[in-house]
């Protein structure tokens, strides 16, 4: 079980580091910008989750080997961007889905083990799965896309709820949940599932933005 999670965490870290590195190259950042944005995407979600559920953020530094893996992957991405690009188009979506699912389930298990209430477990699942991408977009000066068309966050929250409510507790259950989140996420993209949305005209007075 522990082995399985370590493998998943490594895959998730690689996928998220690559995602940050590619956004950095799209924004024409230099080598340092690529490393920073990749590391923030891979480790930012876990750091914010730790902050919110009361684990010292400095626990980050115990993940030394993950850091090295992320650095190596981003260096390869920087050296061979065209090859990466082609592979990303083919497998990027699957990698993204695996990272999202692995991190969401890991975050929910972590919060549950600490005895937090259901609301905290759900938020921990959502933040671990999507928080890195959120920080990446804010740093890159992009409006976080997850707020605009992000049905995926719903799947992380459902996974969090199932773990927080102790519906899923066995190794087999975790594997089924892990695969289900991946499939749901892939289907969301393929069929362009969307949550309902509302559009309001901005007020001229903008009273609502003056808090």
Site for its own copies in 184-203 (CB under 8 A): 189, 194-203
Q: Which is nearer to its own copies, 2 or 207 (CB)?
A: 207
User: Contact 39/60 with Cβ under 8 angstroms?
Assistant: no
Could you say whether residue 148 binds its own copies (CB under 8 A)? yes
Residues 63-82 that bind its own copies (CB under 8 A): 64, 67, 78, 81
Residues that bind its own copies (rule: CB under 8 A) add up to a total of: 85
CA 46/CA 9 separation, integer angstroms: 11
Distance of CA 36 to the CA centre of its chain: 16
Inter-helix orientation angle 2-26/81-113, to 10°: 130
User: Contact 127/52 with Cβ under 8 angstroms?
Assistant: yes
Q: Which is nearer to its own copies, 31 or 173 (CB)?
A: 31
CA 6/CA 102 separation, integer angstroms: 10
The one among 8, 17, 47, 159 contacting its own copies by CB under 8 A:
47
* Interface pattern 126-145 for its own copies (x via CB under 8 A): ---xx-xxx-xxxxxxxxxx
Instruction: Point out which span in 3-11, 27-35, 161-169, 171-179 binds its own copies (CB under 8 A).
Output: 27-35
Closest approach, Cβ 172 to its own copies, in A, equals 27
Q: Which is nearer to its own copies, 173 or 183 (CB)?
A: 183
Burial class (CB in 10 A: 0-12, 13-18, 19+), 69: middle
CA 19/CA 188 separation, integer angstroms: 19
Closest approach, Cβ 202 to its own copies, in A, equals 5
């Amino acid at each position: 079980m522990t082995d399985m999670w370590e493998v998943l965490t490594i895959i998730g870290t690689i996928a998220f580091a690559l995602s940050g590195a590619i956004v950095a190259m799209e924004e024409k950042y230099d080598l340092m910008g690529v490393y920073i944005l990749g590391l923030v995407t891979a480790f930012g979600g876990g750091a914010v989750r730790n902050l919110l559920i009361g684990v010292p953020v400095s626990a980050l530094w115990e993940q030394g080997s993950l850091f090295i893996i992320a650095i190596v992957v981003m260096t390869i991405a920087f050296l061979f961007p065209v090859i990466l690009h082609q592979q990303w188009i083919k497998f990027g979506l699957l990698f993204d889905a695996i990272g999202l699912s692995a991190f969401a389930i890991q975050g929910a298990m972590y919060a549950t083990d600490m005895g937090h209430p259901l609301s905290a477990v759900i938020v921990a699942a959502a933040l671990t799965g999507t928080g890195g991408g959120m920080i990446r977009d804010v740093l890159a000066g992009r409006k976080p896309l997850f707020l605009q068309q992000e049905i995926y966050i719903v799947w992380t929250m459902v996974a969090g709820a199932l773990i927080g409510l102790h519906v899923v507790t066995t190794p087999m259950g975790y594997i089924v949940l892990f695969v289900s989140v991946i499939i749901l996420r892939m289907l969301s993209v393929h069929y362009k599932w969307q949550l309902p949305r509302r559009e309001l005209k901005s007020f001229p007075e903008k009273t609502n933005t003056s808090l």
